[in-house]
Structure 1
Amino acid sequence: MNTSIARQIARIILEGFSDYRTRFTDITLGARDRFLKADWSAAQNSASDRINLYYVAVTDVMETLTSQVEESWFRNSDCWQDVHNAYLDLISYRTDPELAETFYNSIYRKVFKGEAVNPRHCFIQSEFDGFKVQSARGIYRSYFQDKYQKQGLVSLVGQILDDFQFELPWEYRRRDIRNIIHALQKTQPSWVKRSNVRVDVLKWVFFRNKAAYLVGRLVAGDDLQPFVLAVLNNEQGELYVDALLCENDCVSVLFSFTRSYFLVDARIPSECIEFLQTLIPEKNRAELYNSIGFFKHGKSVFYRDFLKHLQNSSDQFVIAPGVKGMVMSVFTLPSLDMVFKVIKDRFAPPKDISKAMVKDRYYLVKTHDRVGRMADTQEYSNLILPRFRFSDELLEELQQVAPSTVIVYDDKVLIRHLYTERRMMPMNIYVEQLVEDGNEQALDDVLNEYGRAIKQLAAANIFPGDMLLKNFGVTRHGRVVFYDYDEIIYLTECNFRDIPEALYPEQELSAEPWYSVSPGDIFPEEFPVFLFPDLAIRKRFNRLHGDLFTASYWRSIQQQITNGQVMDVLPYSPSLQLKKKYSDRPFHHKEEEPVV
């Protein structure tokens, strides 16, 4: 192989990656201006545009390779050992080499689409695993309580707010400081009493939707506790602190796989991930890379972790529990909290969609605001797994429903296309267990969550389509999440109608509707019987969210969206909103807040 050609190919790939990172950073940096201007529509569009950048960048590199390198060279697998080595030399000086590896892999898979991967030719395992890149001035500011001993927490919290120059004034800085301290005193009393506490706050602001987050931690010796401030724009040119998140579960939900990706200027991604893992150690690196927008690298990290898991486990892939879907065949590995979804070759009536339409809807979810109610997915092609890890029942089903996608060999199974998704307990099973146990409070809680999930999806301009309980899952935090996307459409494309009154009794008894029904027509009055065959559960849900059974509710949400209103769907409980919780608290000190 001509080594100069190999270096040329490596440089083309790296230039494409560098251009992608520049454009990625430009969109990310623009989040600050969009937040300050309260330009929420632009914020939503930019988040989607940033995801699309990756696919555009890969396409651009392929076009450059085609125009600048003879196809007989770059399509020749024998040359890619040299390309790999040349590329490794080029990226070893970068602050984001792990991302550069993933981009290289994307190009390699594009060149050799459908072919077996040679581990010597690409980065199946990272060459930078365990390698640490550190910024010269550090990525966080530290605030030491003893430095502010005379002034107490008031000055410490005030300094944190002042260090983030947002260009807009605080709506009421004194009140915000007071509320933060009150919240600390109530939720973290042991930390407030310590004398050796340090607060570390990342220098970068995490932007998403209508909020900006100051992400940090409380540190005392070996003890760590999250410390996250949610800052909102009152849309009148002022900012205020809406919430303090110190509980691990609250911060975990903030970085959930059901949320859109943050826009944060993490110039050294690995250093950012390392800091975030100290706050939420139960989150794996793949999830955290996803959360800050590097979803393709999150996919790579998951795949590497998945291979290690297979080596260190012995259980078999089995059909996932729950009602079998009409579009997807879903299986899982009991020792891993993920499911694997394969699109079936044919869909039984009444499903009237194609494989391409299913993929489009999964991509819609990828790029849309998931508002904490839709699970993120990763898409894999030509995944090879050992045959002995599949149960006979699962192999039989896959070969029956998806023979064009699942190819079974003597010792391996090739899956041409699948999605991975976090495993959750199907809501229908969860509800059945609660009814069997007689746990009425938990039943009300999950039904309320289900209704809130539907309403929050509607606020994000999403109509789930098939709202049966089997298409929703319950997370370990008790949140209800939608995960069946083949029928989702934009809410504004629906026509919500009231059922006309029957002209005479015989019409109501007819098996066919006595009124005209056009494509896109939806009659919410039909939801109760369709969703809740059990009358007792239907009555419970009606008490909680009966407005979902009226066409007027849905039309009102449509009107708000049409008017350009971007509705708030906060990633934390309303009980944590400081202005609501402490607005009537008196000041404890003449000039500032209570000195602690």
Structure 2
Amino acid sequence: MKLSPAYRLAATILHGFDEYRARFKQITFDASRRFREAAWRDAQQASAARINLYGEKVEDTLGRLQRTFPQDVLAHCETWGEARHHYAELISQRLDYELAETFFNSLFCSIFQHRHIRNEWMFVYSSRDDAAHRSGIELCRRCPVNGDWPNALRWALQEAPFDNPFADLERDIELGTALLEAQLPAAILQAEDAQVELLKSVFYRNKGAYLVGRILGGGEQVPLVLPILHGEGFGEKQGGDPCLHLDTVLTETDEVSIIFSFTRAYFQVDVPVPGEFVDYLKQLMPHKPEGELYAAIGFFKHGKTEFFRALNQQVAKREDKFIIAPGVRGMVMAVFVLPSFRTVFKIIKDKFDPAKDVTHAVVREKYRLVKRHDRVGRMADTQEFSNFTVRKDHFEPECLAHLLEVAPSIVSLKDDKVIIKHCYTERMMTPLNIYLEQCSEAERETVLKDYGNAIKQMAAANIFPGDMLLKNFGVTRHGRVIFYDYDEVCYITECRFRHMPKGQGIDASSLSIGPNDIFPEEFGPFMFANKTLRDMFMDQHPELFDPDYWLEVQKAIRDGRVIDVYPYRNKQRFAGTVGQLVY
């Protein structure tokens, strides 16, 4: 029987998706080897390669479609509607069906330039009800405590699938048990039914491996994360492989949420059933959007799909309208928000303020750089949308008028629709300059210290923010300072840090002479107009104003050193290592 063009279209897309998934799994599977061998540079390259992989496979599949099918077939929406039906049948028994739907959507949007977004032609909504389809695959391993917390922790570590030995397992168990007994609620500590439950898959990122799960008992539960590191500084190698140690024990929901933050690189973790895996993580972090959880485990494109669906649902409620974002308006970006959705939408203006010597293409490349780079918990992840369409009456008139004025090539009206040709989305935060105006004295001191730590940790990851004004940083609900304005971001290794010429002055509004020349001694007046804040910050972080500090960071990066930045506070660690930067 001759197959219809629509069926062949569906089968070709699914073939491309299978190629993507096979390579994705291969890169992810190799994370355990990279951790075992301490191949940190390989890990960084693998992370970037996996992010790039999706776009590469979409392009490959698009080329295959264009070579296989006549243009009139590909440009016919009804053919895609029929292909959608066949595709839904082909993936109906797959464990990763939702990822396959997103891949189909990517091809549809590539053909139609993100127009004709309708559920009858693509998967605006999923083809399946998750509640009606459970795989039966057991994701977790479990151990009853029976009043013996040291033994439960020993089980958690010994039964984990690590090839490296622990440097001092008994020491780790002793320290971990003491922390558990200090942190856990009495109801769980004393419960006869207490048990430790951990996902079988290990979460790898940077130099860390994380065991993730929860502790249950007495009708209560708390999340549980056990960060495992190489035992540098106090554990010798055994059999040629570095030894391991337990670095801390995390049991607070907020702590776990920070581990899975939208400001961090995506985990490399084996995910047998993506939907059920995310459902489990959602139980540990109930306030974390599903889209962010999908992104955290590497499926950032499906995270975008989940974000889009959630946004549509929120807009349909008509609780509020899009407004201009509070704070100082940007020189490069126009920013608007839907307050109830906790997201900012950023579009590139047609014309930039004279102080900004960049182009549209340069700005977009800066955002791509950050997407591919390790964000070390200090740079917000973004999603990129094309031909974003919203009804006109969902905008406050002032907001819409502003967007049409500053970006007429990007924002246009068609009947009752607002069409935004290109935009970025980021999680909403309180701009640091606004936060400092509203916070208490104690909060001011804490957030300024974290502001400096953010700059240092980005530097450790070879990122210089360029424009370090307070308005370009935000404060999360956890009180963490995050950088989110990328139009001047660059690699530390591209900068030329210089001492101020003796006996010469320099305009405080300009920090460089050549395009890459930077004078850290002049950072103070540029960053802080308020002298009280400036003095407080300079007392906390004097090294940031010393060119030699930046030159030392440059040298470490050029020497191939991967500087550690861990997602929990130094005081929580069982053992610190000299030279590490730790949140």
TM bucket (normalised to shorter chain) is over 0.9
Aligned to 2:39: 39
Opposite residue 551 of structure 1, the aligned amino acid is P
Q: How many corresponding residue pairs?
A: 567
Shift of residue 357, structure 1, vs aligned partner: 1.0
Aligned to 1:357: 362
1:208 aligns with 2:209: no
| Matched position secondary structure for 2:65 | helix
Aligned to 1:585: none
Shift of residue 249, structure 1, vs aligned partner: 0.6
1:240 aligns with 2:248: no
Query: Does the CA contact (< 8 Å) of 2:495 and 2:517 recur in 1?
Result: yes
Superposed, which structure 2 residues align to 1:49-64 within 5 Å?
A: 49-64=49-64
Opposite residue 313 of structure 1, the aligned amino acid is R
Shift of residue 137, structure 1, vs aligned partner: 4.5
Shift of residue 513, structure 1, vs aligned partner: 12
| Matched position secondary structure for 1:244 | coil
Query: Does the CA contact (< 8 Å) of 1:3 and 1:82 recur in 2?
Result: no
| Matched position secondary structure for 1:48 | helix
Shift of residue 340, structure 1, vs aligned partner: 0.5
Q: 1:177 to 1:214 in 2, by over 3 A?
A: same
Query: Does the CA contact (< 8 Å) of 1:373 and 1:480 recur in 2?
Result: yes
Query: Does the CA contact (< 8 Å) of 1:387 and 1:409 recur in 2?
Result: no
Shift of residue 517, structure 1, vs aligned partner: 2.7
For residues 249-280 of structure 1, the C-alpha deviation after alignment (integer angstroms, 9 at most, x for no partner) is 10010000111100100021111101101111
Opposite residue 461 of structure 1, the aligned amino acid is N
Could you tell me how far apart the structure 2 residues matched to 1:243 and 1:318 are? Answer: 43
Aligned to 1:283: 288
Aligned to 2:151: 155
Aligned to 2:194: 197
Aligned to 2:220: 223
Could you tell me how far apart the structure 2 residues matched to 1:311 and 1:74 are? Answer: 31
Opposite residue 451 of structure 1, the aligned amino acid is G
What are structure 2's unaligned runs of at least 5 residues?
Answer: 578-583
Runs of at least 4 residues off by over 3 Å? 131-137, 510-516
Opposite residue 487 of structure 1, the aligned amino acid is E
Q: 1:133 to 1:268 in 2, by over 3 A?
A: farther
Aligned to 2:581: none
Query: Does the CA contact (< 8 Å) of 1:375 and 1:483 recur in 2?
Result: yes
| Matched position secondary structure for 1:413 | strand
Could you tell me how far apart the structure 2 residues matched to 1:516 and 1:541 are? Answer: 22
Opposite residue 51 of structure 2, the aligned amino acid is I
Q: 1:155 to 1:515 in 2, by over 3 A?
A: closer
| Matched position secondary structure for 1:564 | coil
From 270, 275, 286, the counterpart of 2:275: 270
Q: 1:189 to 1:335 in 2, by over 3 A?
A: closer
Q: 1:346 to 1:141 in 2, by over 3 A?
A: same
Aligned to 1:112: 112
Two-structure CA RMSD over aligned residues (Å): 1.8
Shift of residue 159, structure 1, vs aligned partner: 1.4
Superposed, which structure 2 residues align to 1:125-164 within 5 Å?
A: 125-131=125-131, 133-146=133-146, 149=147, 152-164=148-160
Opposite residue 203 of structure 1, the aligned amino acid is K
Aligned to 2:402: 397
Opposite residue 461 of structure 2, the aligned amino acid is A
Q: 1:109 to 1:169 in 2, by over 3 A?
A: same
Aligned to 1:593: none
Query: Does the CA contact (< 8 Å) of 1:314 and 1:389 recur in 2?
Result: no
Could you tell me how far apart the structure 2 residues matched to 1:530 and 1:57 are? Answer: 44
Opposite residue 289 of structure 2, the aligned amino acid is N
1:20 aligns with 2:20: yes
Q: Percent identity?
A: 45
Q: 1:407 to 1:576 in 2, by over 3 A?
A: same
Aligned to 2:580: none
From 327, 334, 337, the counterpart of 1:329: 334
Shift of residue 313, structure 1, vs aligned partner: 2.7
| Matched position secondary structure for 2:575 | helix
Query: Does the CA contact (< 8 Å) of 2:145 and 2:151 recur in 1?
Result: no
Shift of residue 515, structure 1, vs aligned partner: 12
Q: 1:512 to 1:309 in 2, by over 3 A?
A: closer
Could you tell me how far apart the structure 2 residues matched to 1:387 and 1:40 are? Answer: 49
Opposite residue 57 of structure 1, the aligned amino acid is K
Could you tell me how far apart the structure 2 residues matched to 1:516 and 1:66 are? Answer: 49
Larger RCO of the pair (alpha carbons < 8 Å, separation 6+): 1
Shift of residue 75, structure 1, vs aligned partner: 2.1
Q: TM-score, structure 2 length as denominator?
A: 0.94
Stretch deviating more after TM superposition (338-347 or 110-119): 110-119
For residues 48-74 of structure 1, the C-alpha deviation after alignment (integer angstroms, 9 at most, x for no partner) is 100100000100101111122222212
Opposite residue 293 of structure 1, the aligned amino acid is G
From 255, 259, 265, the counterpart of 2:260: 255
Query: Does the CA contact (< 8 Å) of 1:286 and 1:299 recur in 2?
Result: yes
Could you tell me how far apart the structure 1 residues matched to 2:19 and 2:165 are? Answer: 35
| Matched position secondary structure for 2:33 | helix
Query: Does the CA contact (< 8 Å) of 1:133 and 1:270 recur in 2?
Result: no
Aligned to 1:547: 543
Shift of residue 284, structure 1, vs aligned partner: 1.6
Shift of residue 117, structure 1, vs aligned partner: 2.1
For residues 201-244 of structure 1, the C-alpha deviation after alignment (integer angstroms, 9 at most, x for no partner) is 00000000000000010112542210110000135410000011
Task: Return the index of the structure with the highest Cα Rg.
Answer: 1
What are structure 1's unaligned runs of at least 5 residues?
Answer: 582-596
Aligned to 1:341: 346
Shift of residue 78, structure 1, vs aligned partner: 2.4
Could you tell me how far apart the structure 1 residues matched to 2:510 and 2:412 are? Answer: 49
